[in-house]
Amino acid sequence: MEFKTVLSFCPYCGCGCGLLLEVLDGKIVGTLPSKTSPVNQGKLCIKGWTVHEFITSPNRLTQPMVRQDDALHDSSWDEALHLAATRLKEIKEKHGPDSIGVLTSAKCTNEENYLLQKFTRAALGTNNIDHCARL
Amino acid sequence: MSTKIKEAVRALLTEGKIKGFLGLREEKGNIMPYLFCDPKELDALSLGDWKKPGDTRYPLNQLMIKLAMAYPNETFAVLIRGCDERGLKELFKWKQLDEEKIVLIGLGCPDELAKACECEKPFPDSLIDGPKGEKVDSQKVAQVEGMDLDTRLQFWKAEFNRCIKCFGCRNICPMCFCNECSIEEDQLVGTGEIPPANPTFHLARAIHMVGRCIDCGLCEEACPADIPLRTLYKKVGEIIHQEFGYKTGLSVDEKSPFNIIEVK
Amino acid sequence: MAGLAAVFGSGAMTNSIEEIENADCILIIGSNTSVAHPLIATRVFRAKAKGAKVIVADPRRIPIILQSDLHLQQNLGTDVALINGLMHIILKKGWQDQTFIDERTENFEELKKVVEHYSPEKVSEITGISVEDLEKAAEYYAKAERATILYTMGITQHTTGVDNVKSLAHLAMLTGNLGKESTGINPLRGQNNVQGACDMGGLPNVYTGYQAVVDQAVKQKFEEAWGATLSDKIGLTATEMFPAVLNGKMKALVILGENPVVSDADCLHVEKALKALDFLLVIDIFKTPTAEMAHVVLPGAAFAEKEGTFSNTERRVQLLRKAAEPPGEAKPDWQIIQELSSRFGYPMDYASPRAIMEEIAKLTPSYGGITYDRLQGDGLQWPCPNTEHPGTKFLHQGRFTRGKGLFSAIEYKPAAEMADEEYPFQLTTGRVHVHYHTGTMTRNSPSLEREISECFLEMHPEDASELKVGEGDWVMIASRRGSVSSRVKLTDVAGRKTVFMPFHFLESRANILTNPTFDPVAKIPEFKVCAVKIEKMDRSDKSISSPP
Ligand code: SF4
Ligand code: SF4
Ligand code: SF4
Ligand code: SF4
Ligand code: SF4
């Protein structure tokens, strides 16, 4: 038996409210506002209060998928990553690095954004990287 | 940090009388609800004081209901203050928790906190540590009562106008345990608008607090619009006391005001 | 953030969220604060309770106006005229902070010259705001000891977005409302880690911490650190990428957690571009409409299922803790990226996000003092150059990043697409309180869907009666780019001939209509104004369960 609350931060707007995820035996069962967070001081808006709902949604992706005969099919990580790396390599060789573009995410962490721009610049060899925040 | 509470919990855990103790844990400056199952973890126990006494209180009773639902046969201990004990008494009455399966670890509140809460009884009967403080009369209710009817309505409407409909008051409330909540229903309080129907949204909830609200103040602390919700629900409590002689959470045996209505 | 960068040399919220509650005057412009940034609205409520004057400038009667002392209902796209008008009045009355102007800014004369032409009468004509209200607003703002400005996309999503932001910055400089507590100019970021994505170099022209890709010294530093040859050619922005695909220059796209099929202006065009790609890789937590079009889809982890940091709108870097495992075979995105990179031939082998942050701190002066150990409490606000530095609560104290604050002359230009005979309505887009961006997360949340589950078009009752449509009727809304259908909601929230639609709904994609014409500098499309025509649809309410 394990019940704990884990400090995290709201994935919605830029306020960055601190919240506590209630975790019962490894499953997220609820959300509470963090009372010690300087931004929100124990309060949240309706979106923050309900973050556990989308995390545990049955619609979450659980498996890599590759396109075959015009439809997406479940695949293994190995197959999907191999295909992605190979196709990107082929396109870079044939059309040059600037024929590839990357859209990074305002929803992902700093570390992930850093890695993706590093991959774009150091591996793909282009500065074609942007995110949808101007949008 | 209270050694009395720690020792009481340690004894319960080592003797196997409880499966776990639902309290607060301090971890690098953050204070969070946690179920202590191992006595070794108790060094990190917190009583919810941070910048001011009692300013990191969480709805432990509400989490207790979730735990009891997942583990109906286990016995747990829970950290409680005066208001939480009042809450448990009502929760037993409303059959949300089983009295036999809960051990109360009581903590009394210091005067400073009792004053801020304008608390009816700032300590639990099952007091293990902390002071047995004095009752503090409510001035905030009297202040609003002092306004004439029209001014009072305008006052409340202006306060409610800030509501962003976060449902935080309901979400954090240890006494809001309904499976389906009527203030979410479009037919009862229109959905999709902020501020929500003024004053319907707030009065609907205030009415539900009859015989439920144990005046813990968590709702007001969670309100992003700083609406004086506690004053509103205190008034509800006062009316119930005046009309039916019922004090919410005072005893497990006293019948709820709904019963009294029937008798009358 | 190009506007702020041009004026001050750096672009971010100048002050902190907690400081807002101690301002004496708050100018909220183009921000539906209580809907889009509720916990910032909290600070506005508190400031108001302490006696601050709150001015809301917005074409719509948004909820925060209930807390305002003054609502300026400017015509869509006339912000520059409005701000020039305010500056005109301030200069005329001598309310400017001359010491601040003399000591900390340059090019003041140029501003003065252009503002000269914006008499209250002329501005009233352009914006539709009365002269009296303009004067009141100028007085509230200029006479406050501490005045602060809050703005969001309502300011930036215009062809004149950069001009709008610069104008606001000028207004703050003119009155000395910078570099002090509870003042400043504060862009409220719409998505939780936009600030972080920018800080981390998720932009075509800069590496982390806004270090320019064209700067040879910077390039050399990164080449050495990364062991790779880097390009010093500025890349394409998101809005430039889709046309590049259609003209055959761009062949492959990698999209991490974004959904341009719903979020981007003229999204039918985007859809066409995605179809034309040789290869599309999407990493996401849901099967979004964008993912549906991919050749390979990789399942990522949600924020609660991994470690990492987010940087909020006040530059505060905060540490996420892992609460649960990702579902099925899904993996944290940082692991996915490093596996992809290794297979591509550029090996990456970080043990954890902590190790990645160590590398970021080494290469990024403004994050130099940020370590996971130091983030345990309240987080840290950058700039935080070294491990002894406590972080920075507000920017520009004593000096701007570029030295002196730069004034410039900005003339009002009307929106790129104005209503005309064929398209007589002006459409503006925005958010509703329960949904977020393209709805991939919020629309998978039952509590939020219960509040609002369907798109709507807000229309003035008088316009509606002319079109003979009533509450809940279906209408077809068409712009020069495409058409969508939606139900009508009657409200006088906006003036006549101005309609509003939220952009979260796939069934009624508002962005089919919006204008991709973008600001020449920031390359942000004009989401906030486009011309549309509206026709009643001939279908009875019950005959359709979802829009066509
Ligand atoms: S809880 Fe609401 S205000 Fe806070 S970050 Fe999330 S969306 Fe923004
Ligand atoms: S309401 Fe009373 S018992 Fe509860 S925290 Fe306040 S003072 Fe203590
Ligand atoms: S607000 Fe009323 S209906 Fe909703 S949970 Fe509370 S008591 Fe139940
Ligand atoms: S004070 Fe508020 S949170 Fe506490 S029981 Fe009463 S209504 Fe619920
Ligand atoms: S907590 Fe406050 S803002 Fe939220 S719904 Fe309740 S009254 Fe409204």
- The pLDDT tens digits for C184-239 are 888 888 788 888 888 999 989 999 998 989 999 999 999 999 999 999 999 998 88
Which residues are near ligand 3 (CB < 6 Å)? B 170, 176, 178, 181-183, 205, 208
Residues of C with Cβ-Cβ distance to A46 under 8 angstroms: 433-434, 447-448, 451
Q: pLDDT tier at B71 (50, 70, 90 boundaries)? A: very high
Residues of B with Cβ-Cβ distance to A2 under 8 angstroms: 35, 37
Q: Is B163's C-beta closer than 6 angstroms to any atom of ligand 5?
A: yes
Do residues C514 and C525 make contact, with C-beta atoms less than 8 angstroms apart? Answer: yes
Alpha-carbon span C296 to A67, nearest angstrom? 6
Ligand 5 atom 4, closest CA: B166
- Quote the DSSP letter at residue A60: B
Q: pLDDT tens digits, residue range C331-364?
A: 999 999 999 999 999 999 999 999 999 999 999 9
Ligand 5 atom 3, closest CA: B163
Q: How far is C183 from chain A (nearest CA, A)?
A: 18
Pick the closest to residue C269 from C501, C105, C512 (CA basis): C512
> Topology of C425-545 in CATH?
Barwin-like endoglucanases (2.40.40)
Mean pLDDT of B205-229: 93
* C453 touching A (Cβ < 8 Å): no
Pick the closest to residue C459 from C410, C504, C497, C429 (CA basis): C497
Check residue C546 and give its pLDDT. Answer: 36
Q: pLDDT tens digits, residue range C397-448?
A: 877 777 888 888 788 887 777 778 888 888 888 777 777 777 777 777 888 8
* Pocket probe mutation, ligand 1, options A8, A9, A13, max atoms within 8 Å of Cβ: A13
ω into residue C289 within 30 of 0, thus cis?
A: no
* Pocket probe mutation, ligand 5, options B160, B161, B164, max atoms within 8 Å of Cβ: B164
> What is the number of the ligand 2 atom nearest to the C-alpha of B119?
2
Q: How far is B191 from chain C (nearest CA, A)?
A: 5
Alpha-carbon span C25 to C53, nearest angstrom? 5
- Quote the DSSP letter at residue C226: H
Q: Is the pLDDT of residue B150 over 60?
A: yes
Q: Is the pLDDT of residue B249 over 70?
A: yes
Name the average pLDDT for chain C.
Answer: 86
* C243 touching A (Cβ < 8 Å): no
* B67 touching A (Cβ < 8 Å): yes
Residue C14, token pair as written in the block: 């100048």
| B residues 134-153 lying closer than 8 A (beta carbon) to C | none
Top pLDDT among C266 and C49 is at C49
Top pLDDT among C161 and C371 is at C371
Pick among 3.30.70.920, 3.40.50.740, 3.40.50.1240, 2.60.40.2550: CATH of C190-234+303-325+332-387: 3.40.50.740
CA-based diameter of chain B, in Å?
61
Q: pLDDT tier at C149 (50, 70, 90 boundaries)? A: very high
Q: pLDDT tens digits, residue range C99-114?
A: 988 888 888 888 888 8
Beta carbons of A22 and B37 less than 8 Å apart = no
Beta carbons of B33 and A24 less than 8 Å apart = no
Q: pLDDT tens digits, residue range B87-115?
A: 999 888 888 988 999 999 999 999 999 99
Domain ranges of chain C: 2-188, 190-234+303-325+332-387, 236-299, 425-545
β-pair type (A18-24, A3-9):
antiparallel
Beta carbons of A2 and B71 less than 8 Å apart = no
In this prediction, what percent of chain B has a pLDDT beyond 90? 66
Torsion of CA C49, C52, C57, C61, to 10 degrees: 20
Task: State the distance between the two ends of chain B, measured CA to CA, in whole angstroms.
Answer: 49
| DSSP character string of B18-65 | -SEEEEEEEETTEEEEEEE-SGGGGGGEE-S-SSSTTTT---HHHHHH
Beta carbons of C39 and B226 less than 8 Å apart = no
Pick the closest to residue B107 from B65, B22, B165, B47 (CA basis): B47
Check residue B114 and give its pLDDT. Answer: 94
Alpha-carbon span A95 to C479, nearest angstrom? 36
| DSSP character string of C111-136 | HHHHHTT--HHHHHHHH---HHHHHH
Beta carbons of B192 and C67 less than 8 Å apart = no
HSE-CB for B141 with a 13 A CA cutoff? 17
| C residues 192-231 lying closer than 8 A (beta carbon) to A | 192-205, 207-208, 213, 222, 226-231
Alpha-carbon span C531 to C76, nearest angstrom? 11
CB atoms inside a 10 Å sphere around CB A79: 14
Q: Which residues of chain A have pLDDT under 50?
A: 134-135
Q: What is the distance in A from the centroid of ligand 4 to the CA of C251?
A: 58
Q: What is the distance in A from the centroid of ligand 5 to the CA of B171?
A: 10
Q: What is the distance in A from the centroid of ligand 4 to the CA of B264?
A: 27
CB atoms inside a 10 Å sphere around CB B127: 19
* Pocket probe mutation, ligand 5, options B223, B229, B231, max atoms within 8 Å of Cβ: B223
Pick the closest to residue A32 from C56, B150, B34 (CA basis): B34
In this prediction, what percent of chain C has a pLDDT beyond 70? 92
DSSP reduced 3-state for A44: coil
Alpha-carbon span A52 to C441, nearest angstrom? 10
Residue of B184, B194, B221, B226 to mutate, testing the C interface (most C Cβ within 10 Å of its Cβ): B194
Residue of B18, B45, B171 to mutate, testing the A interface (most A Cβ within 10 Å of its Cβ): B171
Check residue C179 and give its pLDDT. Answer: 85
Domain ranges of chain B: 3-129, 139-244
Check residue C545 and give its pLDDT. Answer: 36
| DSSP character string of C347-410 | ----SSHHHHHHHHHHH-GGGTT--TGGGSSS-EESP--STT----SSS-SSSBTTBSEEP---
* C33 touching A (Cβ < 8 Å): no
> Topology of C2-188 in CATH?
Dimethylsulfoxide Reductase; domain 2 (3.40.228)
Q: Which ligand is nearest to the CA of B233?
A: 4
Q: Is the pLDDT of residue C155 over 80?
A: no
CATH superfamily of this structure's domain A3-55: ADC-like domains (2.20.25.90)
